[in-house]
C-alpha cells in the first residue's frame, strides 16, 4: 500500500515516518508538500510531528490553511485513513477533522519521555494488531499535548468509542501519575466518529526498532497495512 506523508514548513518527523513505513515496514511512501492540491493515489495519509509554521499563533493553527488541507478533508470524507501524530494531531483538531484542542502541558514544560499507551479498542484499522488493553511503549515529545474538550464532548467520545489510546502504566492501568501532560481522562489519542481519522500525541515512528528502545509503534501501522489486505 502507499502512504503519503504531509510536509509543512517546520515539520520534522516526516523523515522518521518515511523511514518507518518504507524502510522498516517495506511499504510505498511519498512526501506530499503542503502546497499540493491532491492526495490521489494514497491509501493512508500521515501528518507527522514538528512545529508547522513554528507553531506561531497556536500549534497547528496556520498549517490548517495550507492548500493540501482541502484535499485532506476530501480524502477523509471519502473514507481514506489519516494518522495525525503530535503536531499532526494538533493540525487535525485545528482543521475540525477531530474534536477538542491540545493545550499547553499542565506543568508548562516541554516533555520528551517514554510513555505507555493502552489501546482501548482493537477493532479499528489502527489497532487490530494490538491486544485489547495491551500496554504499548511509545514516547511523547511535545509542549502542547494536554487534550481538552468540554465534558459533554468527552462523554460523547467515550460513548462512541472514539478514545483510542490512554496513558497508562506498564501493566496497562490508568493512573494520573502516567499522564505526561495533564490530558483530560488520560487521553493520548482519539479517532473521528467514522473511525478513519486518528490523532495521537505519542510518536509511534520513534518506536519502530528494538534498538531505539521499543518497536511497539509498528503495531499501529501494521494494523493499517492489514486493513488493506
Partner 1 sequence: MPVTKEILDEIALSQAEYGMIVDRLDREPNPVELGMFGALWSEHCGYKHSRPLLRLFPSRSPRVLSQSGAENAGAVDIGDGLAVVFKVESHNHPSAVEPLQGAATGVGGIVRDILAMGARPIALLNSLRFGPLDSAQNRHLFRGVVEGISWYGNCIGVPDVAGEIYFDDSYSQNPLVNAMCVGVVSTDKLASAAAGQSGSVLLLVGADTGRDGIHGASGLASRTFEEEQELRPTVQVGNPFLEKVLIESCLEALETGCVTGIQDLGAAGLTSAAIESAYRGGRGIILDLSRVHRREPGMTGYEVMLSESQERMLLVTPPENVETVRKVFQKWDVPCNEIGQVIRQPQAHIVDGEESVAQLPIEQLTEAPRYRLKGAPSSEQLERQQLSLGDVPLPSQGVPDTLLQLLASPNIASKRSVYQQYDHQVQTNTVVGPGSDAAVLRIKGSNKAIALSIDCNSRYCFLDPYRGGQIVVAEVCRNLSSTGAEPLALTDCLNFGNPERPEIYYQLEWCVRGMAHACRFLGVPVVSGNVSLYNESQGQAIYPTPIVGGLGLLEDVNARVPSAFPEEGLAVYLLGQSSLRPRASDLAGSEILQVTHQRVAGRPSISLPLEQRVQALCRQAIAQELILSAHDCSEGGLAVALAECAIPTGVGFLGTTVLSRLARRWDCVLFGERQSRIAVTLRWEDAAKLGFIAAEMDVPVLEVGHTGGNRFRLGRYADLLLSEVADAWEGGLDRALVS
Closest distance of CB 187 from partner 1, Å: 21
Q: Is 130 a catalytic residue?
A: no
Residue of 137, 128, 144, 53 whose CA lies nearest to 93: 144
CB 15 to partner 1: min, Å: 7
Set 86, 93, 168, 178: catalytic member: 86
Contact 46, 3 (CB under 8 A): yes
Closest CB 127 distance from partner 1, rounded Å = 22
**Cell, residue 170:** 506498564
Burial class, 41, CB count within 10 angstroms (exposed 0-12 / middle 13-18 / buried 19+): exposed
Contact status, residue 144 vs residue 90, Cβ threshold 8 Å: yes
Minimum CB separation of residue 171 from partner 1 in Å reads: 16
Are 132 and 118 spatial neighbours (Cβ–Cβ below 8 Å)? no
203 is an active site residue = yes
Please list, in sequence order, all residues whose beta carbon lies within 8 angstroms of the beta carbon of residue 92, skipping any fewer than 6 positions away: 47, 60, 82, 84, 98, 197, 199
| 34, 178, 205, 208: the active-site residue | 205
Known active-site residue 209? no
Find all residues with CB under 8 Å of 136, minimum gap 6, and list them: 116, 117, 118, 119, 130, 165, 207, 214, 216, 217, 219
> For binding to partner 1 (CB under 8 A), which residues are involved?
9-10, 12-13, 15-16, 19-20, 23, 33, 49-51, 53-56, 109-113, 139, 141, 143, 203, 205-206, 208-209, 211-212
Give the residue numbers marked as catalytic.
Answer: 86, 203, 205
Amino acid at each position: 500500500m502507499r502512504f503519503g506523508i504531509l510536509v509543512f514548513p517546520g515539520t520534522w518527523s516526516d523523515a522518521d515516518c518515511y523511514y518507518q513505513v518504507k524502510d522498516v515496514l517495506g511499504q510505498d511512501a511519498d512526501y506530499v508538500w503542503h502546497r499540493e492540491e491532491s492526495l490521489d493515489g494514497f491509501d493512508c495519509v500521515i501528518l507527522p510531528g514538528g512545529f508547522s509554521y513554528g507553531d506561531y499563533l497556536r500549534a497547528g493553527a496556520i498549517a490548517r490553511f495550507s492548500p493540501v488541507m482541502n484535499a485532506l478533508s476530501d480524502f477523509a470524507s471519502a473514507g481514506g485513513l489519516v494518522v495525525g501524530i503530535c503536531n499532526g494531531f494538533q493540525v487535525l483538531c485545528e482543521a475540525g477533522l477531530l474534536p477538542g484542542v491540545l493545550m499547553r502541558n499542565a506543568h508548562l514544560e516541554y516533555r520528551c519521555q517514554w510513555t505507555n499507551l493502552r489501546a482501548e479498542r482493537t477493532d479499528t484499522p489502527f489497532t487490530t494488531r494490538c491486544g485489547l488493553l495491551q500496554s504499548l511503549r511509545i514516547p511523547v515529545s511535545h509542549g502542547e499535548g494536554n487534550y481538552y474538550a468540554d465534558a459533554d464532548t468527552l462523554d460523547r467520545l467515550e460513548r462512541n468509542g472514539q478514545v483510542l489510546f490512554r496513558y497508562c502504566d506498564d501493566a496497562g492501568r490508568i493512573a494520573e501519575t502516567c499522564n505526561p501532560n495533564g490530558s483530560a481522562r488520560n487521553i493520548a489519542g482519539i479517532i473521528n466518529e467514522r473511525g478513519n481519522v486518528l490523532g495521537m500525541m505519542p510518536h509511534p515512528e520513534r518506536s519502530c526498532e528494538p534498538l531505539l528502545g521499543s518497536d511497539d509503534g509498528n503495531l499501529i501501522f501494521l494494523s493499517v497495512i492489514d486493513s488493506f489486505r
